[in-house]
């Protein structure tokens, strides 16, 4: 009888141990899947890529274009000015454009995150931005994307929001600054929370921000029915801003999978309502910044 009891106890111990191992094994098996399904932080852009992007902006031909941008006060080349070509050329030279601050990756709300795709990052790097200043105090943000192995300038926007908000995020405790262009809101992702960097963001997520999961639910409610392929998109409501033939021809083509950054989208460049891609153009930034 003692032997039988001992065997029973041994069997019970064995069953218990086996169950514990199975439970632990199941937990380990599920842990990576659960981790992969959670929203992610954006992937960083290598410093070497940022250096190459900055080098593209430092090209004398690019700085000359920025000088003309300053001379024209952001008025597109397709529009007439009250000054002549010679006066514009003089003003462009006098602007003496120079880079100021760091070249930064610009992260924009990702459509996969909005859709709730497992493991999708909250935002993706759409382009890099370099702030250029003029002798008279004007500033512009020069955008670059990587195409065919080279970094190319695709847009010039007045002001320096991209660099300013990246610096604001770094100086307020670190994290990744990103933009929700549909409401012109700038946030910083820090320690799993989405925190506001400007007034629009504070109206969106509150002064104390919200968790990344709660923010995903918020933007899904806002834009879940406006993603590429949606009825909204098919109806042509996601274009954001019409461009003329010359601008369309100058717009960057879609990037290959090997590019460090994709071609800039209309949602990023022009604040389109839908997260639908299109080409970037040279434009003066519309609307006053509030931070």
Other CB atoms closer than 10 Å to residue 289's CB: what's the count?
15
- pLDDT of res. 149: 87
- Say which residues have a Cβ less than 8 Å from residue 272's Cβ, sequence separation at least 6: 181, 182, 238, 239, 240, 241, 265, 266, 278
- pLDDT of res. 232: 44
Name the more confident of 228 and 131.
131
* Lowest mean pLDDT, pick from 27-41, 62-76, 96-110, 255-269: 255-269
- pLDDT of res. 228: 62
How far are the Cα atoms of 73, 169, 208, 229 from residue 202, in angstroms, in the given order?
A: 31, 14, 8, 30
User: What tens digit of pLDDT does each residue of 194-204 get?
Assistant: 999 999 999 99
pLDDT above 90 (res 259): no
Name the more confident of 15 and 229.
229
Whole-number average pLDDT of the chain: 74
Split at pLDDT 50, 70, 90, the class of 189 is: very high
Q: Which two tokens stand for residue 86?
A: 């010679």
Q: Considering the chain, what percentage of its residues have pLDDT values greater than 90?
A: 54
User: What tens digit of pLDDT does each residue of 233-256 get?
Assistant: 444 444 333 323 333 333 333 333
Best mean pLDDT range from 10-24, 102-116, 277-291: 102-116
- pLDDT of res. 109: 95
- pLDDT of res. 234: 46
Instruction: List the chain domain ranges.
Output: 1-37, 39-270
Q: Considering the chain, what percentage of its residues have pLDDT values greater than 70?
A: 65
Average pLDDT over residues 114-141: 94
- Say which residues have a Cβ less than 8 Å from residue 173's Cβ, sequence separation at least 6: 188, 190
User: What tens digit of pLDDT does each residue of 130-155 get?
Assistant: 999 999 999 999 999 998 889 999 99
0.75 surpassed by pTM:
no
126 neighbors 266 (Cβ within 8 angstroms): no
Give the 3-state secondary structure of the chain: CHHHHHHHHHHHHHHHHHHHHHHHHHHHHHHHHHHHHCCECCCCCCHHHHHHHHHHHCCHHHHHHHHHHHHCCCCCCCCCCCCCHHHHHHHHHHHCCEEEEEEEEEEEECHHHHHCCCCCECEEEEEEEEEEECCCCCEEEEEEEEECCEEEEEEEEECCHHHHHHHHHHHCCCCEEEEEHHHCEEEEEECCEEEECCHHHHHHHCCCCEEHHHHHHHHHHHHCCCCCCCHHHHCCCCCCCCCCHHHHHHCCCCCCCCCCCCCCCHHHHHCCCCCCCCCCCCCCCCCCCCC
Which of 19, 51, 33 lies closest to 119 in space, CA to CA?
Answer: 33
- pLDDT of res. 26: 29
Q: Which two tokens stand for residue 209?
A: 């921000």
Other CB atoms closer than 10 Å to residue 105's CB: what's the count?
26
């Amino acid at each position: 009888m003692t032997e039988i009891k001992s065997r029973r106890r041994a069997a019970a111990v064995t069953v218990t141990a086996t169950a514990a191992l199975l439970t632990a094994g199941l937990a380990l098996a599920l842990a990576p899947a659960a981790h992969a399904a959670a929203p992610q932080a954006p992937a960083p852009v290598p410093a070497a890529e940022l250096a190459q992007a900055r080098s593209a902006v430092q090209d004398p031909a690019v700085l000359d274009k920025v000088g003309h941008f300053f001379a024209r006060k952001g008025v597109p080349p397709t529009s007439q000015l009250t000054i002549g070509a010679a006066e514009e050329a003089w003003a462009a030279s006098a602007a003496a454009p120079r880079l100021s601050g760091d070249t930064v990756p610009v992260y924009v709300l990702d459509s996969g995150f909005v859709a709730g795709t497992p493991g999708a990052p909250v935002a993706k790097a759409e382009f890099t931005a370099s702030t250029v200043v003029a002798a008279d105090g004007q500033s512009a943000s020069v955008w670059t994307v990587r195409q065919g192995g080279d970094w190319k300038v695709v847009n010039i926007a007045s002001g320096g929001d991209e660099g300013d908000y990246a610096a604001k995020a770094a100086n307020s405790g670190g994290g990744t600054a990103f933009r929700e262009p549909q409401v012109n809101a700038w946030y910083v992702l820090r320690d799993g929370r989405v925190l506001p960097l400007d007034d629009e963001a504070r109206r969106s997520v509150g002064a104390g921000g919200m968790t990344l999961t709660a923010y995903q639910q918020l933007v899904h409610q806002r834009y879940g029915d406006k993603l590429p392929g949606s009825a909204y998109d098919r109806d042509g409501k996601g274009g954001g801003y019409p461009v003329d033939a010359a601008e369309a021809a100058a717009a960057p083509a879609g990037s290959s999978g090997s590019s460090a950054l994709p071609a800039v989208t209309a949602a990023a460049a022009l604040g389109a309502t839908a997260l639908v891609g299109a080409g970037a153009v040279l434009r003066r930034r519309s609307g006053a910044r509030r931070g």
